[in-house]
Amino acid sequence: MTARIQPSILSADFVNMQAAVEAVGSADAVHVDVMDNHFVPNLTFGPEMVRRVQEVSTIPLDVHLMITDVDRWAPGYAELGAFSVTFHAEATSEPVALARRLRAIGARAGLAVKPGTDVTPYLDLLPEFDQLLVMTVEPGFGGQSFMADMMPKVATVRAAVRAAGLDVWVQVDGGITVDTIVRAAEAGADTFVAGSSVYGATDAAGAIAALRAAAAGHAH
- Which helix (H) or strand (E) covers residue 104, if one does? helix 95-105
Q: Give which of ligand DX5, Zn ion, none residue 117 binds (C-beta under 5 to 8 Å, depending on kind).
A: none
182 exposure class (CB count in 10 Å sphere: 0-12, 13-18, 19+): middle
In whole angstroms, the minimum distance from the beta carbon of 2 to ligand DX5 comes to: 20
Residue 9 or 168 with smaller CB distance to Zn ion:
9
33 assigned to active site: yes
Question: Which x/- pattern over 158-197 shows residues binding Zn ion (rule: CB under 5 A)?
Answer: ---------------x------------------------
* Nearest-angstrom CA–CA distance, 57 and 14: 15
User: Could you give phi then psi for residue 83, rounded to 5 degrees?
Assistant: -65, -45
- Which helix (H) or strand (E) covers residue 168, if one does? none
Residue 168 or 211 with smaller CB distance to ligand DX5:
211
In whole angstroms, the minimum distance from the beta carbon of 212 to ligand DX5 comes to: 15
CA atoms within 13 A on the CB side of 40: 20
Nearest by Cα to 10 from 31, 26, 29, 28: 31
Q: Residues 28, 62, 130, 173: which is the catalytic one?
A: 173
In whole angstroms, the minimum distance from the beta carbon of 8 to Zn ion comes to: 6
- Of 33, 128, 130, 190, the residue at the interface with Zn ion (CB under 5 A) is 33
* Nearest-angstrom CA–CA distance, 142 and 160: 29
- Of 4, 64, 88, 158, the residue at the interface with Zn ion (CB under 5 A) is 64
Residue 62 touching Zn ion (CB under 5 A): no
Residue 140 or 188 with smaller CB distance to ligand DX5:
140
* Pair 9, 27: CB distance under 8 Å: no
Q: What are the residues binding Zn ion (CB under 5 A)?
A: 33, 64, 173
Question: Which residue numbers are catalytic?
Answer: 33, 173
